Structure 1
Amino acid sequence: MALYRSGYRFCRCLALTLILVGVTEVKGQLMWVQLHNGSLGNVTTAAPVPPGRRDAVLGYDVTRNQLILFGGTPGPLNDTWIYNVANNEWREVNTSGAPNPPARYAAVGGVSGGYFYLAMGKGPHDVYYNDVWRLDLAGTERWEMLPVAPQTTPAQQDNSSQPYSPPGRAFTTGGIYVTGSRLYVSLGTNDDMRTKYTFAYDVVSNLWFKEDEGCNLYDPRCPHPRYLHSGVMTGSEEFVVFSGCLSGEGSAGPCPSHDAWRYDGQAKTWTQLDNCPTPRLYGTMAMLPEAEGKRYVALYGGQTNTATIVQTADLAADEVAILDLESGSWTLRQAAPENNMTAVPELRVSAAMATGPDGIFLFGGASYHGVHANDLWLLRGNATYADQSPSSPCAPMTTTFVTVHGILMVIGFGFLLPIGALLMRHFSCIYTHVTFQILGICCAIAGFVLGVVSVRSAHFSFAHAIIGIIAVILGVLQPINALCRPKEPRPEERKGVARTVWQFVHRFGGRVSILLGLINSSLGVFLAVAVLPIIIAWYTWLGLLVLLWFVGEIARCLGRMRQKGKGGRPMASTLHGSQSDGIINGWEKGDGAYVNPVTESVRL
């Protein structure tokens, strides 16, 4: 009997040890649980499953404990699927014989009041929709197209109190909150432009209203026009936006950008948030279930490397960025697998996510190899679990072509060219002037090329680009102009008309080029969504340049007045003069050249 008991205890201990080592579930932190592997049927049924896709719309119906999936690409698709969470089973909704939303992807939607809503999106042949649909979840499971106000005049569009039907768009932010009655649409693209406007569709009155006018490209108070960004509704009149592409179709900036924003629909204000996660395109966001009064947003996946990226941080497969809506700050967390016998989802872009009672559902998306997935996962946990998950440092700064473009332009137009011009004007440093100007123009040309490459389309359709190309052309003409200068008259000779015209063109062209370059650099720090310390540093340096110019001009005027008080220095047209103090007939020697301080003529 004693031997039997000892053997029994040994077996129990061995079994417990195997469980702890092999399949121990991780407690108290975010974890990934695979609900469905996407294969046809599962271990108990042979039910159909939706084909793999990306850019679909996913919503969770808390009353019936089910997920609703619509559309996506490749295709695009217009199928509707429902996933029963309790039974772990997909089924396709039969919509034959009834109106059905046209095939589309990159739309917005959500579940509220017993309906699954759908709006906007891109369809076949580059069609952009601005319609609104809803699926009855409580009874018929039929789609219904909701009425919208007709297109209105531009004057009415500018009046937020007037009903308005916005143009179609895709890759937008918005949707409808589970307790909301307004479906929001903000930012996005329709290939003709990157839009900055925010609209809301009232599902009770069936009317669109313009909520926010947005900002111009150089206004730091709200997000610049963009698409391919991440976003999620965080309240009935509140949503969050992160990163995205700010380039192309009348807009410019980083692609991807690093900024994050929150929109308050009641106050109609934007608030910029912390920027900790790696900038990305095609990321996905969803709310974590609330806990202990904490409201957190989770950001998952996306594409960090693009054609205009110089350096960036790669995403880890288990990385989930968490945004605290109260403080506006981010943390990077690791979500563990359900146990050490399973894995986490393969990194992907454009997955669909929806908030459930136990965590966040994730469906589909495309892998980095272009494979379209149809597996279903649950990021189990709430806000408290997120706080208890392992953390990692914020991502290092991402360097894009826009970053390098800005650095080169600041070195060229912000330092070398203006300093070279000041040294020539006030100290007659001709060789230093030539060296600085050539180096400055080289920086400007290199920066210009990178600036053009960084803009996806419509390269010269906004002020920064137009001013930039004028400044660079004028700058490039300066050394060419210098090589073609007429011969400088000797001190005893009068200056000819050709020399006079050349001097005017050279000085005027150089000064206009530098002025436009400084103006454009001042606009560029906002266009590039530069952080506040960089903006402060640039405008401090710009103020110092202006101060140096004023001090130089005052000293120059005082010097002329002092010379006049002593009897006056011979003018350039004077044929005779003193040779004392390095001055010969009005020509002052400096840095290996003779310079007339009155006319600024140079003679080597």
Structure 2
Amino acid sequence: MKRLTFLLFIFYSLNCFSQAGEWVWVKGDTVTNNMGTYGVQGVSNINNTPPSLYEACEWTDTSGNFWLYGGLSPAHVFADLWRYEVGKNEWTWMKGLHIPNHLGSYGVKGVPSPNNYPPASSFGVNSWVDLNGNFWMFGGSNQPYKVYSDLWKYEIATNEWTWMNGPGVPNTQGVYGVQGISSPSNYPAARTETAASWTDNNGDLWLFGGSVYGTANSSINDMWKYTIATNEWTWVKGDSIPNQRGVYGTRGVEGANNTPGGRWVYPNWKDDNGNLWCFGGYESWNSMRSNKIDFWKFNVQSMNWTWMDGDTMGNTFGVNGPMCMMNDLNIPSMATECRASWKDSKGNFWGVIVGDGYYNSLWKYCPKAEQWAMISADSSLQGCPRWGVRGVSSPTNSPPALQGPIGWTDGSDRLYMFGGLSGCGLWSNAIWVYTIDSTCGVCALTTEVQTISEIESGFSVFPNPTKGTFELSLDFKTQVEISDVEVYNLIGEKVYTVRITGSRETIDCNLSKGIYSIRLINGNRQFTKKIIIE
């Protein structure tokens, strides 16, 4: 029996993670709105699986196991805690009463108990792992409409929850206090629609943005820090009033007045220097709503924001560029409820970007080079998956374009994604795994990055926008006579290519209206420009 178990483990390992640059479906069901198989609480089983869940929250423990809590199905919000063991490919229902829309059992503030239970929660719950490996979570909402501002801690060793902070009742406005000053009476307003959560290098917990209770479709830009040692919140940055516009300053330049606008925000990362990052989101102001593609960095030492990349406007398209190619002009398109985001072993950021149209793309960002690359994309299925065979890697596999999935990484450059809601109506409880291909989206050294000013001075496109015919002009100090020109659409497909000779060429590529990326290869140099065909 032990030999059979070992052989099955080897088979699982070799097949599930066989090919770099490919997705594999490893767990869960192809049917929508699965109610899950709970099994016996505390006992793992190959048949156990959580329900189909949208906007759960997630953690990774010090042993590399993955955890989730809460989440929404079409009819219910859940209040159960689950653990996934990667090596066994098995789920365990660890805690909870299996009661949908449960209102929780708070107990005494600050006192752990086996009878304590947080309320059912979804729609953006902040979650953290502290330096001791304990799990924390804040906010989210339940049914009927209840929005929370309580902070909870879970200790794995005791399997107990503790209500640590907050009023203990839903739908509160919060207490901001004085900006920059901690107080035992401070706590953030009840909120949903934010996954922007970070644990800093000192072990303090940070959260940003979301939609606060009391204002319909609100979006806020407040930054908060919770100090575990003192059990106190500090309102650090941003506004206490929702629906405020951002202050961008100069791109790439830190400023005391800089701040993102209020937003529902999802993809987030912490870099190797301890800076906090977030991308895009959904902004509301003056009764107007827009999806953003701006990229921000927060310095926890200076308490200042830097607008790093993207557009100051809303509802704009990104620039994909050639697949797997880093360059300065690339930027993902609108990110709507894309909670699944990862950091690889080299410190690079990854995220699944899903727009309102439920197209699906995987992106990589190199913080040191400050460049993006689109790694994979699938816009042909209107959000539906290509399942393939469970446990078998294939280049044709593709997860659904999901809003509200969660993500983990196993430390071996494999990206895990669970749950979510797709455009073809699939409420998912499946786990997908992507194995990073180190040859796709190679990060340039900082000293080798071609700057925008150098590109502008040597490679020009005129007119831009154009009706379809345009002129390429090359003016480099050292120039190879022959250049290759490649044109890519917004999902990274090569739609036109031509080889040119000399420093000036008229191009008529007969393309439909839209935004395209032109890649010019001249010797060992590569340059990219965006062009609009009207």
User: TM-score, length-normalised on structure 1?
Assistant: 0.52
Residue 354 of structure 2 is matched in structure 1 by 302
CA contact (8 A) 1:183 1:200 kept: yes
Residue 56 of structure 2 is matched in structure 1 by 56
Structure 1 residue 32 and structure 2 residue 87: aligned? no
1:383-462 residue pairs with structure 2 within 5 A? 384=438, 386-387=440-441, 395=490
CA distance in 2, matches of 1:152, 1:228: 20
- The partner residue of 1:262 within 278, 297, 300 is 297
- The partner residue of 1:126 within 140, 145, 148 is 145
Q: How far 1:274 sits from its partner (Å)?
A: 2.5
Deviations 1:157-205 (A, max 9, x none): 3343445211111112432438652221111112513211100112222
Q: How far 1:72 sits from its partner (Å)?
A: 0.9
- The partner residue of 1:194 within 209, 219, 225 is 219
CA contact (8 A) 1:78 1:101 kept: yes
Q: Helix, strand or coil for the counterpart of 1:273?
A: strand
CA RMSD in angstroms comes to 3.7
CA distance in 2, matches of 1:243, 1:155: 25
% of aligned pairs identical?
18
Deviations 1:399-449 (A, max 9, x none): xxxxxxxxxxxxxxxxxxxxxxxxxxxxxxxxxxxxxxxxxxxxxxxxxxx
CA contact (8 A) 1:117 1:134 kept: yes
Structure 1 residue 345 and structure 2 residue 399: aligned? yes
Q: How far 1:393 sits from its partner (Å)?
A: 5.7
Deviations 1:36-57 (A, max 9, x none): 134878xx95532100011011
Residue 136 of structure 2 is matched in structure 1 by 117
Residue 81 of structure 2 is matched in structure 1 by 80
The residue identity in structure 1 corresponding to 2:400 is E
CA distance in 2, matches of 1:202, 1:219: 27
CA contact (8 A) 1:353 1:363 kept: yes
The residue identity in structure 2 corresponding to 1:296 is N
Q: Residues 297 and 386 (structure 1 numbering): CA distance in 2 closer, same or farther, change over 3 Å?
A: farther
Structure 1 residue 322 and structure 2 residue 364: aligned? yes
- The partner residue of 1:182 within 198, 204, 207 is 204
Out of 182-191 and 338-347, give the one that drifted further. Answer: 338-347
Residue 206 of structure 1 is matched in structure 2 by 231
CA distance in 2, matches of 1:235, 1:214: 28
Computing the radius of gyration over CA atoms, which structure comes out larger, 1 or 2? 1
Structure 1 residue 102 and structure 2 residue 119: aligned? yes
Structure 1 residue 143 and structure 2 residue 161: aligned? yes
CA distance in 2, matches of 1:182, 1:331: 32
The residue identity in structure 1 corresponding to 2:56 is A
Residue 334 of structure 1 is matched in structure 2 by 376
Structure 1, unaligned runs of 5 or more: 1-22, 306-313, 397-532, 534-604
The residue identity in structure 2 corresponding to 1:121 is G
Deviations 1:384-405 (A, max 9, x none): 455359x996848xxxxxxxxx
Q: How far 1:82 sits from its partner (Å)?
A: 0.6
Residue 499 of structure 2 is matched in structure 1 by none
Query: Whose strand proportion is higher, 1 or 2?
Result: 2
Q: How far 1:107 sits from its partner (Å)?
A: 0.4
Residue 568 of structure 1 is matched in structure 2 by none
Q: Residues 162 and 111 (structure 1 numbering): CA distance in 2 closer, same or farther, change over 3 Å?
A: closer
- The partner residue of 1:223 within 252, 257, 260 is 260
Q: Residues 365 and 180 (structure 1 numbering): CA distance in 2 closer, same or farther, change over 3 Å?
A: farther
Q: Helix, strand or coil for the counterpart of 1:373?
A: coil
The residue identity in structure 1 corresponding to 2:210 is G
The residue identity in structure 1 corresponding to 2:234 is F
Q: Helix, strand or coil for the counterpart of 1:281?
A: coil
Q: Residues 324 and 236 (structure 1 numbering): CA distance in 2 closer, same or farther, change over 3 Å?
A: closer
Deviations 1:126-158 (A, max 9, x none): 222111112112x11111111359999978333
Residue 240 of structure 1 is matched in structure 2 by 277
Q: How many residues align?
A: 355
Q: How far 1:218 sits from its partner (Å)?
A: 5.8
Q: Residues 99 and 261 (structure 1 numbering): CA distance in 2 closer, same or farther, change over 3 Å?
A: same
Q: Helix, strand or coil for the counterpart of 1:261?
A: strand
Q: How far 1:121 sits from its partner (Å)?
A: 1.0
Q: Residues 346 and 202 (structure 1 numbering): CA distance in 2 closer, same or farther, change over 3 Å?
A: same
CA contact (8 A) 1:351 1:362 kept: yes
CA distance in 2, matches of 1:24, 1:89: 14
Structure 1 residue 169 and structure 2 residue 186: aligned? no
Out of 187-196 and 102-111, give the one that drifted further. Answer: 187-196
Q: Residues 155 and 167 (structure 1 numbering): CA distance in 2 closer, same or farther, change over 3 Å?
A: closer
CA distance in 2, matches of 1:49, 1:25: 21
Q: Residues 69 and 178 (structure 1 numbering): CA distance in 2 closer, same or farther, change over 3 Å?
A: farther
Out of 66-75 and 118-127, give the one that drifted further. Answer: 118-127
Structure 1 residue 47 and structure 2 residue 47: aligned? yes
1:535-550 residue pairs with structure 2 within 5 A? none
Deviations 1:532-574 (A, max 9, x none): x9xxxxxxxxxxxxxxxxxxxxxxxxxxxxxxxxxxxxxxxxx
CA contact (8 A) 1:286 1:297 kept: yes
CA contact (8 A) 1:234 1:287 kept: no
Q: Residues 228 and 266 (structure 1 numbering): CA distance in 2 closer, same or farther, change over 3 Å?
A: closer
Q: How far 1:272 sits from its partner (Å)?
A: 1.6
CA distance in 1, matches of 2:129, 2:353: 23
CA distance in 2, matches of 1:79, 1:349: 21
CA contact (8 A) 2:265 2:278 kept: no
- The partner residue of 2:181 within 160, 171, 191 is 160
Q: Residues 268 and 149 (structure 1 numbering): CA distance in 2 closer, same or farther, change over 3 Å?
A: farther
Q: Helix, strand or coil for the counterpart of 2:398?
A: coil
- The partner residue of 1:369 within 421, 424, 427 is 424
Residue 71 of structure 1 is matched in structure 2 by 70
CA contact (8 A) 1:110 1:116 kept: yes
CA distance in 2, matches of 1:199, 1:388: 35
Deviations 1:101-142 (A, max 9, x none): 1011110103232212111112223222111112112x1111
User: TM-score, length-normalised on structure 2?
Assistant: 0.59
The residue identity in structure 2 corresponding to 1:263 is F
CA distance in 2, matches of 1:392, 1:260: 25
CA distance in 1, matches of 2:176, 2:128: 31
Q: How far 1:350 sits from its partner (Å)?
A: 1.0
CA contact (8 A) 2:246 2:262 kept: no
The residue identity in structure 1 corresponding to 2:126 is V
CA contact (8 A) 1:226 1:246 kept: yes
Residue 283 of structure 1 is matched in structure 2 by 338
CA contact (8 A) 2:125 2:193 kept: yes
Structure 1 residue 273 and structure 2 residue 308: aligned? yes
